[in-house]
Chain A
Amino acid sequence: MTRQRNDNVGAIGTARPAPELEVWQALNIALDRAMERDSGVFILGEDVGLFGGSYRVTQGLYAKYGEWRVRDTPISENSFVGMGVGAALAGGRPVVEIMTVNFALLALDSIINMAAKLRYMSGGQLQVPLVVRMPGGVARQLGAQHSQRLEHTLINVPGLRVVVPATAQDSYWQLSQAIVADDPIVVLEHEFLYFTKGPFDAAAAPPPMHAAAVRREGRDVTLIAWQRMVSECMNAAAQLSARGIEAEVIDLRSLRPIDLPLLRASVAKTHHAIVVEEDCRFGGAGAEIAATLAEASYPDLRAAVRRVAASDVPTPYNLELERASIPRTQNILDAVEELAGSTG
């Protein structure tokens, strides 16, 4: 089990709006505001209450809303996610936190067999306004069982939406949008990003939940990424710029659906695309994005869409090997070089 030390158990007000916030604080504010607005919003999960959340995301909410709306559950992932489905069917808007994406493997029946299918199987009579939040990705030396990504499985499921915020602002916007939506939505959070800081404006109007964002404009190559890989792409783009190559960096923000029109518009300009993902290469989300983009934008592309992805191995414990297992800036630079070489 992964646990972050939490010195502010039960404290309220540590997560006030400010010009710059950490990702966990933005998520905390989104939950707080949603719970203030709608008494049907409640939280289920392991150590979300008294403990304040493994990554502080629910900090202060137990003290403010009480045990029925911020419920510490036993370690029973499949059943407490299934309870979320049941409560959603009855009219609630549960936000279920799975402590890490790795434990969500125990809850896939509730997510895939129930949450995703009930509206359809019931001919549209029932709805499951459920949010399932789960942190994942490769953090730091947590070992193979605690360093997984689940995008590949979840984006293949009709009935689900999957969002992947990378910034504090997007975390606030997308979690807020997910809670008021009437369909089950998985919010994948990244363990490495919780304590990163970014600009935050609670009053700003959000873009659509699935809209991708152009983080840097460029004319030569499109780098497509999400979550932690966005900053790797930004680093690569800065270095490429010094060599006279202007990369456009797109933060997908959502993996089901993807913002295909934005990707196509970018590729129409750059004629080259590289998908950068932290997940294993074979059968990963990047494969789907590359294939869909290739089919849609074939006439605009001057080379095959490339992928930079994690090695096809379980995540090793050793720090150097772990770093080598996921894409780094240099891998992106290499891929751009190869792409440039292949198209002359």
Chain B
Amino acid sequence: MQRKLAWQFLYDMTLARQFEQAAAEQYTQGNIGGFLHLYPGEEAVAVASLHAAEASDYVVSTYREHVHALVRGVRPAAVMAELFGKATGCSGGYGGSMHLYDAEHRFLGGYAIVGETFAIAAGVGYWLRMNDLTHVVLCYFGDGAVNQGTFHESLNMAALWKLPVLFVCENNRYQIGTEIHRHSAVPEVYRRASAYGIDSRRVDGMDVVAVYEATRAALQHVRAGNGPYLLECETYRYRGHSMADSGAYRSALELAELRARDPLDGFRERALAEGWLVAADCDEIDSEIDRVVADAVRFAADSPQPTDLGASVYREPLDLYGGRP
């Protein structure tokens, strides 16, 4: 592996881990409201798959999408400011944690109703295919989303018209508190793709290198005009579903087993052992991330509140009451 890529993997996974930790702290302090779904444990999936993609590809994600936005290139300060609901946030303070957007980076959100991403991704894919464009849409979803009708409806259409969509399942085993064997008759998500003739595979989602290689192969498949592909990444979230959930339905043993396979620690050790990185790189990354995350929090705290309640509901304001407020 090239040093540059190894450095990026470690940098982004460290950023992901520390950013989310800071978000949890800010939530606890009351600076972030609403629902907050964090990503620790799952970092390898977003980091590897998005590094395998091109900047011109589109990304559609769920409500657990801070890290997808960060890896995509959205500034940490702009993401943190959005969590704070500030005007400088990447959605101007109108979206919040679950609704991050960045048109410039082709980051299309940020969907908080489970299963919406499938149809959005299929629609972008339809537009790309209709116009003979070579970009791909990366569509993220959790294991809980595969029992929504839109999963089946959209996979059917994506396969039928050979749409350039890479469906990336972040299988963290839990639909909030319901473990996958209790919510899915077929718990191997990748097998479901065969119902629509879609090629698929399962990969160890705790291994950033494995996810990267699997994603590259999958993207090649899609870009070659073979239609959609489904990549299932077996991963785990260390925290509860959201800040409101302690995750008490999981055993300490299970959590310990998965933490022992931590994607960040595992990659750091491997990178050092393989000689991709040296110890000084790790230290440099750690101190750089400390600074970036602290800056992001400070920027968010210092930023102004949005003040225009009715901004951008429509292109042109709609007058419902004949000129009266």
Binding site for B on A (CB under 8 A): 42, 68-69, 71, 73-74, 76, 78-92, 94, 109-110, 113-114, 118-127, 158-159, 161, 181-183, 256-258, 260-261, 264, 292, 296
Q: Which residues of B contact A94 (CB under 8 A)?
A: 123
Residue B185 lies at the interface, judged by CB distance under 8 Å to chain A = no
- Which residues of B in the span 144-177 have a Cβ within 8 Å of any Cβ on A? 149-150, 153-154, 156-157, 160-161
Residue B205 lies at the interface, judged by CB distance under 8 Å to chain A = no
- Find out whether the CB atom of B154 lies under 8 angstroms from the CB atom of A121: no
- Find out whether the CB atom of A183 lies under 8 angstroms from the CB atom of B314: yes
Q: Which residues of B contact A84 (CB under 8 A)?
A: 123
**A90-B123 contact in complex given A123-B94, A123-B312, A125-B101, C-beta closer than 8 Å:** yes
A161 to B110 Cα, complex, angstroms: 24
A79 to B99 Cα, complex, angstroms: 20
Q: Which residues of A contact B224 (CB under 8 A)?
A: none
Closest to B96 in A: A121
Which of A71, A81, A83, A292 makes the CB contact (< 8 A) with B321? Answer: A292
- Which residues of B in the span 264-318 have a Cβ within 8 Å of any Cβ on A? 306, 311-315, 318
Q: Which residues of A contact B322 (CB under 8 A)?
A: 260-261, 264, 296
A89 to B40 Cα, complex, angstroms: 30
Q: Which residues of B contact A292 (CB under 8 A)?
A: 320-321
Q: Which residues of B contact A109 (CB under 8 A)?
A: 113, 116
Which of A76, A83, A159 makes the CB contact (< 8 A) with B314? Answer: A159
- Find out whether the CB atom of A296 lies under 8 angstroms from the CB atom of B120: no
**Apart from A73-B157, A260-B322, 20 more pairs, CB < 8 Å:** A68-B129, A68-B130, A71-B126, A79-B119, A86-B119, A87-B126, A89-B108, A89-B124, A91-B127, A113-B116, A118-B101, A119-B314, A121-B94, A122-B101, A123-B90, A123-B101, A125-B101, A126-B101, A182-B315, A260-B321
Distance to closest chain B CB from A98 (angstroms): 14
Q: Which residues of B contact A256 (CB under 8 A)?
A: 318, 320
Residue B324 lies at the interface, judged by CB distance under 8 Å to chain A = yes
- Contact count A vs B, C-beta below 8 Å: 165
Distance to closest chain A CB from B57 (angstroms): 12
Distance to closest chain A CB from B105 (angstroms): 11
- Find out whether the CB atom of A78 lies under 8 angstroms from the CB atom of B153: yes
- Find out whether the CB atom of A92 lies under 8 angstroms from the CB atom of B101: no
**A125-B119 contact in complex given A182-B315, A183-B314, C-beta closer than 8 Å:** no
**A90-B101 contact in complex given A82-B119, A113-B113, A121-B94, C-beta closer than 8 Å:** no
A56 to B128 Cα, complex, angstroms: 28
- Find out whether the CB atom of A118 lies under 8 angstroms from the CB atom of B109: yes
- Which residues of B in the span 69-127 have a Cβ within 8 Å of any Cβ on A? 89-95, 99, 101-103, 108-111, 113, 116, 118-127
- Find out whether the CB atom of B312 lies under 8 angstroms from the CB atom of A86: no
**A122-B103 contact in complex given A113-B116, A257-B319, C-beta closer than 8 Å:** yes
- Find out whether the CB atom of A124 lies under 8 angstroms from the CB atom of B312: yes
Residue B325 lies at the interface, judged by CB distance under 8 Å to chain A = no
Closest to A42 in B: B130
Which of B102, B160, B313 makes the CB contact (< 8 A) with A125? Answer: B102
- Find out whether the CB atom of A181 lies under 8 angstroms from the CB atom of B315: yes
**A122-B109 contact in complex given A69-B130, A76-B157, C-beta closer than 8 Å:** yes
A185 to B160 Cα, complex, angstroms: 28
Which of B92, B95, B113, B121 makes the CB contact (< 8 A) with A86? Answer: B121
A88 to B111 Cα, complex, angstroms: 16
- Find out whether the CB atom of A74 lies under 8 angstroms from the CB atom of B113: no
**A74-B156 contact in complex given A82-B119, A110-B119, A114-B120, C-beta closer than 8 Å:** yes
A19 to B101 Cα, complex, angstroms: 48
A to B CB contacts below 8 Å, 20 in the list: A69-B130, A71-B126, A78-B119, A78-B153, A79-B157, A80-B119, A80-B153, A86-B120, A86-B123, A114-B116, A118-B109, A121-B95, A122-B95, A122-B109, A123-B89, A123-B90, A123-B306, A125-B103, A182-B315, A296-B321
